[in-house]
A = this chain, B = another copy of it.
Amino acid sequence: MSQETMSRRDALKFGVLGAGAAMLTASQAMAAAPMEKDVKFDEEYDVIVIGSGFAGLAAAAKAAERGLKVLILEKMGRVGGNSVINGGAFAVPMNPDQAAFGIKDSKELFINDALKAGLGINHVEMLETIFARALETFDFTVKCGAKYQTGKKPTWFGGHSVNRTIVTENMSGSAIIQPMAAFVEKLPGCKLLTRAKFDDFVMSNDGTSVLGVTARINYRFDKKLISDDMENTSGEKKVFRAKKGVILASGGFSMDKIYRKMQDPRIAYDQDATNHDGATAGALLKAFQIGALPIHIDWIQQGPWASPDERGFGVAPLLTQQGLFVHGVAVDVRNGKRFMNEMADRKTRADAEYVILREAPKAFPVAIGTYNTFEEQIYAAVEKGLQSGVMKKFDTLDALAANYKIPADALKETIKVYNETALAGKEDQFKKQTLKDLKAAPIDMKGPFYAIRLMPKPHHTMGGLKIDTKARVISGNTGKPIPGLFAAGEVTGGTHGASRLGSYAISDCLVFGMIAGETI
């Protein structure tokens, strides 16, 4: 994030396409959705799936198992979208490992956890559907070859009332995506194209129903463009008929430089996200144009535990969440003072970081702790963080302060008060529970001191289009499903309300992907 993109000037210009707009070329994307009479179909399938993440693969697998001829279009050069780089944590309420370890879960707990995080605006019937079908979906992925760490106590995630999360064997979504992609490709009548970009829907001549899509094969996504969706003209045009319908599983838009900034102007154009480069809004916006309803579109979950000093999700989240944030401090480099409860919810912390970055775009706050602040299970990550340079180690607070240009005396005073508060078992000004409960000095004044610079990174876009519990896309013109259009996963909105809980994403994507494949 350069000074220019998050300067006062930038802050004043947000929301305008500004200089960028002049660069955008009028392309075929400009026209309204074509109708049947306007096109000649090159190929014909029963089902066309847009996207090859959790939702897309689950949809394709279920549809192909029913004997349908399925085409999956993936615009990137590799399969799996964000799912393949995701952490592989899958909330599976009522799973056998819960039973084995005496953990009592329930529909009410599962839903109320989500409602609490989602500020009460979640669409509850979607959560009910996920609850009802998560275990069956989990079993289906196992059948497809996904590997999990089972036979042990399920993992606890922030905001969950009980341990209900099962983690993949390699702690990555790839342990689900790779076997599922192989499973899908082996099914007769199922075809997966990478570098195949969805451009638009093909509508019936009366404009009411989705009959297929226009797309481009041999597409090369170009991350250097301001908007790949608007500017990229690569590839050769194809028109595909979808006799039973199209399933949109195109994901979220955390990397859409223009659209995410319109929703949250605090995000700089070139600000990194935890997502892969292809996470843009193009397909979602096309769905709005044929009547899909925008829901909760501005809720972008941003990771306050991320760092500007590495790309993507990186290792900083682990080092802060299971280390520096728990017992260490996060300080404003301009005055050496704490500015948030380092253990507050994601939004509260990201908002606090943005208050600083809006005033001083380069003044990334710094998380600080000592070795004892790290939890034992992440000791390997500590080494990794130091090696990659995202975390730095200093023998003294003076050296640390000098490196980040923090007023040294103020920093020492902050840490002194912090330690004293903890020792006394008192509540600090931010009501940090992990501090009050410690009843010991959390930061070892002998050092050495560890530090990571912080920057919020867009992580999940809660908003999207409205589907019903059968994964049918609802039309704003009729209040009923748009014939021939289905959707699942992060492209949909409503399920998570204002904020998604960790590990609910895989459940959402897989369950509704599966349902779309069954319904279509």
Query: Which positions in A face B, CB cutoff 8 Å?
Result: 11-17, 20-21, 24, 26, 29-33, 35, 119-126, 128, 203, 206-208, 227, 230, 258-259, 262-266, 281, 285, 288-291, 293-299, 351, 354-355, 358, 463, 466, 468-469, 474-480, 494
Contact = CB atoms under 8 A, between A and B. Distances in A.
B288 A476 contact: yes
A17 B258 contact: no
A35 to B, nearest CB: 8
A468 B22 CA distance: 14
Contacts of A266: 120-121
B295 A285 contact: no
> Counting chain B CB atoms within 10 Å of each CB, which of A35, A295, A355, A358 scores highest?
A295
Given A31-B208, A124-B265, A293 B479 contact: no
Nearest to A125: B16
A298 B121 contact: yes
Given A16-B469, A120-B354, A230-B479, 6 more contacts: A14-B124, A21-B479, A30-B208, A31-B206, A120-B355, A227-B479
Nearest to A299: B298
A479 to B, nearest CB: 5
8 contacts: A15-B123, A16-B469, A30-B206, A32-B208, A123-B265, A230-B479, A262-B466, A263-B296
Contacts of A288: 288-289, 294, 476
**For the complex formed by this chain, how many copies does it contain in all?**
2
Nearest to A120: B266
A122 B476 CA distance: 26
Contact of A32 (B21, B33, B227, B351): B33
Contacts of A285: 291, 293, 476-477
B351 A477 contact: no
Contact of A16 (B14, B259, B468): B468
> Counting chain B CB atoms within 10 Å of each CB, which of A262, A266, A288 scores highest?
A262
A434 B218 CA distance: 66
A107 to B, nearest CB: 10
Contacts of A125: 12-16
A121 B265 contact: yes
Contacts of A33: 32, 207
A484 B345 CA distance: 44
A212 to B, nearest CB: 15
Given A32-B207, A206-B31, A463-B298, A17 B479 contact: yes
A142 to B, nearest CB: 30
> Counting chain B CB atoms within 10 Å of each CB, which of A17, A355, A474, A479 scores highest?
A479
A121 B258 contact: no
Contacts of A291: 285, 289
A402 to B, nearest CB: 31
B32 A290 contact: yes
Contacts of A227: 479
Nearest to A466: B262
Contacts of A293: 259, 262, 285
Nearest to A15: B123
A226 to B, nearest CB: 8
Contact of A289 (B258, B262, B263, B290): B290
Given A289-B289, A298-B295, A298-B299, A264 B121 contact: yes
A2 to B, nearest CB: 19
A479 B26 contact: no
Nearest to A292: B288
A207 B289 CA distance: 11
> Counting chain B CB atoms within 10 Å of each CB, which of A13, A30, A466 scores highest?
A30
Contact of A479 (B24, B264, B463): B24
Nearest to A32: B207
A323 to B, nearest CB: 28
A39 to B, nearest CB: 14
B297 A122 contact: no
A355 B112 CA distance: 12
The 10 closest A-B pairs by CB, nearest first: A32-B207, A15-B123, A294-B294, A285-B476, A31-B207, A17-B479, A24-B479, A296-B298, A288-B288, A21-B479
Contacts of A295: 262-263, 297-298
> Counting chain B CB atoms within 10 Å of each CB, which of A124, A206, A290 scores highest?
A124
